[in-house]
Structure formats: structure tokens, C-alpha cells
Amino acid sequence: MNKIGLIAGEGRFPFLFAQAAKMRGAFVSGFAFLKLTDKKLKKYVDEIFWLNVGELNKLLELFKQNRIEKAIMAGKIPKVLLFNPCFKRDTGINSLLDKVVDKKDNSLLSAIADKLEEEGIELLDSTTFLSHLLAIKETLSKREPSTSEWEDIYFGKDLAKRMSDLDIGQSVVVKDKAILAIEAIEGTDAAVRRGGRLAQRGAVVVKMSSPRQDMRFDIPVVGPQTIRSLIKAKAKVLAIEAGKTLIIDRKEAIRLADNKGIAVVAI
């Protein structure tokens, strides 16, 4: 596994993968998206190629030219871009979009994975080199959830699992066993803010993977930005799924949570 193509979206995830892969002797080729991927990624990879989000043909051609046979997806690429009139799409992405039965995350990402495979490119598990960042079953924060908060956690867990299985979203916001918000195309942070406005304070946020989660893409990821969203929403609990959720910059995330008395648990 000497050469890996890192298809890099938003956030810290691509940086952490690049660091871990290089520590294990891999040559990391970054495939970054203009106006989306952090420009600092250039310093963390061995080489970098910049393209627009909708340039699938160019992406595949670059993989071929550089003889890259393994790829990984790390970082978020907002699906809302599909509905932006300024979003430029090449014939490759248009053909793929015409073939999918719907525009759900799993449908789109599975189609991209299949296309990569057709071109002789293996899409690796998103946790490759990063399994140490997966949450284990524990309370991560200083504060344990209260009895009523645990009731909200397990109430929200069942619904979050169903919503994730339907490929609607991974997160729900709960208070007193009432659902205040369900994540959709806007993403976790926006759903948390929306639920927080309704709760006013004390909401419980639950984030779960699909029971049929494909670990190659769209796995649950949380980090300091997630906690900041909870703080803004005056939420009091974050519950995530053990064994299926990556925690980015764990120490900073938990420091932020502890400073505001937010309970963080992996269940």
C-alpha cells in the first residue's frame, strides 16, 4: 500500500489521515477541491492536485496518469452543492447522477465507489490508519449524563439509527423524549443549532451510523467543531456510537465539553 490517493473534503479528517499514512510509509497523493479543501493540506501530502467538485473525469484521469490504485475519502463534501446553480459538472458526474435511483448520500457515494472500482481503483475503509480514533464504549467527559438525559439518549438512539438507515441523516436532537430536530442535507452542526433554538437549553444530541454502514464513506465523525455547535445551542449531552464514530482532536473536543459541563458518551 505504498501510494494512496486521498480524496479530501472539508475539515481536519484529511490532515489526520495524511499524517497517519505517511507515518506508515505511504506516499500520499492529495486530490483537493477548490473553495472547499483547506489549502494547508498541501504541506501534509507528498503531492497535491486541485480540481472542482464536479470534475469526476479529471479525478479519474489523474489517478490513471499517476498510477494510483488505492483511494480513500476523508472529509465532508456538502451535498447541498448539487443544488447550487454555480455547481459545474462534467460528463462523468452527470452520467453518474443520471444512473443513481435517488440523491441520498449512500446512493451517490456507492455509485462513486463503483466507478472507482470499474477504473481499477480500490476505495479503502475510511478508518484505515485511524482505528485508534474510533470511539470505545465509555463516558469521555467529566460529567456523566443524568437519569433523564440517559432516557433521552436511548430514546434518540433508536430514532437516529432508523434515520441513518433510511439515509436521511445521522443525528437527532432530543429534549424530554421529544424530537426537536433531525439532521438532513444541512449537516449535523446546522441540525444541532436548529434543535437548540427550539429547546432553548438542555438538549441531547445523538449521532449514530447506519445499521448497514459502509465504512468506506460517510462514517460518523465528531470533534471540536461539533462541541462548539452544542455550546452555541446550549445543549448538554452528545451521545455517539462506539466502534463506528471517529473522534477528531479528542483532547480539544473534551476540553471544550468539560469547560461547559457537556456530557459526552459513546454507547
Model confidence at 87: pLDDT above 90: no
256 and 145 in one domain? yes
Write the DSSP string, 14-68. Answer: HHHHHHHHHHTTPEEEEEEETTTS-GGGGGTSSEEEEE-TT-HHHHHHHHHHTT-
Asked if residue 100 is part of any domain, the answer here is yes
145 and 111 in one domain? no
User: What is the mean pLDDT of the segment spanning 192-216?
Assistant: 95
Whole-number pLDDT of residue 222: 97
Asked if residue 56 is part of any domain, the answer here is yes
145 and 75 in one domain? no
What does the DSSP 8-state code read for residue 185?
A: T
How many CA atoms lie less than 13 Å away from 19 in the CB half-sphere? 8
pTM: 0.90
Average pLDDT score over the chain? 94
Count CB atoms within 10 A of the CB of residue 198: 14
CA 206/CA 219 separation, integer angstroms:
14
Confidence of residue 1 (pLDDT cuts 50, 70, 90): low
Q: How open is the CA angle 116-120-126, to the nearest 5 degrees?
A: 50
Q: How open is the CA angle 71-77-78, to the nearest 5 degrees?
A: 160
- Answer with the one of 68, 99, 123 that is the final residue of a domain: 123
CA 231/CA 227 separation, integer angstroms:
6
170 and 99 in one domain? no
Please state, for a pLDDT cut of 70, what percent of the chain lies above it.
100
User: What is the mean pLDDT of the segment spanning 109-122?
Assistant: 93
User: Cell triple for residue 185?
Assistant: 442535507
Residues of the domain holding 207: 134-266
CA 84/CA 10 separation, integer angstroms:
17
User: What is the mean pLDDT of the segment spanning 17-26?
Assistant: 96
How many CA atoms lie less than 13 Å away from 198 in the CB half-sphere? 16
Count CB atoms within 10 A of the CB of residue 119: 14
What does the DSSP 8-state code read for residue 183?
A: -
95 and 163 in one domain? no
169 and 105 in one domain? no
Contact 66, 84 (CB under 8 A): no
Confidence of residue 121 (pLDDT cuts 50, 70, 90): very high
User: Which residue is associated with the grid cell 440517559?
Assistant: 150
Which CATH number is 182's domain given?
3.40.140.80
What does the DSSP 8-state code read for residue 111?
A: H
Which of 53, 47, 48 is CA-nearest to residue 35? 53
Whole-number pLDDT of residue 78: 84
Domains: count for the chain: 2
- Answer with the one of 69, 96, 123 that is the final residue of a domain: 123
- Answer with the one of 90, 123, 156 that is the final residue of a domain: 123
Give the SS3 label for residue 242: coil
Confidence of residue 62 (pLDDT cuts 50, 70, 90): very high
Asked if residue 92 is part of any domain, the answer here is yes
Asked if residue 46 is part of any domain, the answer here is yes
166 and 102 in one domain? no
User: Which residue is associated with the grid cell 449512500?
Assistant: 106
66 and 105 in one domain? yes
Longest dimension (CA), the chain: 58
Asked if residue 128 is part of any domain, the answer here is no
